[in-house]
Amino acid sequence: MEHYDVIVIGAGAMGMSAGYHAAASGRSALMIDAFDPPHAQGTHHGETRIIRHAYGEGREYTPMALRAQALWAELERETGRELFLKTGFLQAGEPNSRMLGEMIVSARENGLPAELLDGAQMRKRWPGLTLPESFAGCYEADSGVLLSEACVQAYRDAAVARGAAMLADTPVVAVRPDAGGADVVTAQGTFRAKSLVVTAGKFAGPMLAKLGLKRMPLAPIRKTVEWFRPATADYAPDRFPAFLFDLPEGIYFGFPDIGGEGVKAGRHDGGFRPMPEDGVLPAHGAFADDGADCAAYVRRYMPGVVPDIIRGSACTYTMTPDEHFILDRHPDYPHVAIGAGFSGHGFKFASAIGEILAALAAGEEPGFDLSLFALRRFNQLTTREG
């Protein structure tokens, strides 16, 4: 049986980062994934993800976002790859929008250079937008876009270069933790580690059940994003930011026309379906209404974009009831670190979350207040079995 200091179960964005950080700290690491990352069966594909700092989902996220930005820059330097595009980020909504208000408070509390704008100022600066006159906005010039699949590949290559092992296309069959470590059983053999990092994405619920955590409130759902052809140059990445709009119709996000691929848009708060029980992600177009909400959004709010879908992609969100992450140690096995339930807004943090999980698994303190992400908030829903 092969032995490691740490085994990472699930090597998507979070797990690949955790494997890298474990290896970078001098620990022997094995990363195991049911697919061959980067791949199109999880949450990291679709080319791009937003990274922003003053955070509308809760100001507790901001220190982690700033650390993540620094770590992405370190990964760029280490691998010589472009992973971040500084397009800026605009969040907008009615002045009483909770998300917008949280972003503004977060910016002030952390001294971030965010710019407050009214509706007229936004329309003048970005003529590709037609937002309600009553809207207010908060703009971060230092935020922007991560090239998501390139990020995962960069962490994979950097982890392997630092000595980590990668076992792809290998589902985990069983996990047997004990006081001194854990055995991880796969079709390729059984592996032993002193500690575990569990970042199993849409399979997190069943995987945590193997570790005795039953009825975890994790709901994998299917989401879609679409690309649309811009009819003007107003949406070029040097003219148009990544964005998140709290609209009467829902919460929409998107990206400028990067590399001539089109303007990308998605809806965060609706238009989802539960994942099939077999975990296989239905491709974009599997349902007749795929992209209908984003096409309607583009038609109404982005007048220089042709509202015909030129291509689309499906991905998974794994939701918690409060849409906050799970970042914690197993209540019975403190050498098992758990990262799950990233609820559609986790990718930007992957560089920092991997560092946090690697520290948790090693018995170290990660340097962040993780109380918002603790398992104990679900105590009434979770049954533990030793």
3-class DSSP assignment, residue 274:
strand
Told to judge if 324 belongs to the known catalytic residues of this protein, a careful annotator would answer no
Active-site residue (options: 199, 210, 315, 345): 315
* Catalytic, out of 45, 53, 223, 330: 45
Alpha-carbon gap, residue 365 to 374, rounded angstroms: 14
Q: Out of 21, 43, 44, 48, which one is annotated catalytic?
A: 48
> How many whole angstroms separate alpha carbon 281 and alpha carbon 91?
30
The catalytically annotated residue of 52, 268, 324, 345 is: 268
Give yes or no: 294 in active site: no
**Catalytic site includes residue 223:** no
Amino acid (one-letter) located at 163: G
Residue 86 annotated among the catalytic residues of the structure: no
Six-digit token pair at 230? 């811009």
Residue 362, classed as helix, strand or coil, is: coil
Secondary structure element (H or E) that encloses residue 359, with its range: helix 350-361
My answer on whether omega of the bond before 38 falls inside 30° of 0, hence cis, is: yes
Q: Assess whether 124 carries a catalytic annotation.
A: no
DSSP string covering 272-330: -EEPPTT-PPPPTTSSTTTTHHHHHHHHHH-TTEEEEEEEEEEEEEEE-TTS--EEEE-
- 174 SS3 class: strand
How many C-beta atoms surround the C-beta of residue 7 within 10 A? 31
Active site residue 39: no
Q: Hey, what amino acid is at 301?
A: Y
- Active-site residue, selected from the candidate residues 21, 27, 44, 49: 49
Three-state secondary structure call for residue 107: helix
Evaluate whether 14 touches 339 at the Cβ level (below 8 Å): yes
Tokens of 175: 């996990």
* DSSP class of 164: -
Is residue 272 within 8 A of residue 221, CB to CB? The reply is yes
Name the catalytic one among 223, 264, 335, 377: 264
Q: How far is CA 149 from CA 48, 83, 134, 193, in A?
A: 8, 9, 37, 28
As beta bridge partners, residue 139 has 90, 115
Among positive and negative, which fits the CA dihedral 315, 318, 324, 329?
negative
Residue type, 232: T
Residue 48 is a catalytic residue? yes
The H or E element that residue 70 is part of is helix 62-79
Q: List C-alpha distances in Å: 171 to 32, 35, 233.
A: 8, 8, 46
d(CA 154, CA 369): 28
Q: Report how far residue 131's alpha carbon sits from residue 122's, in angstroms, rounded to the nearest whole number.
A: 8
Give me the active site residues, please.
45, 48-49, 264, 268, 315, 348
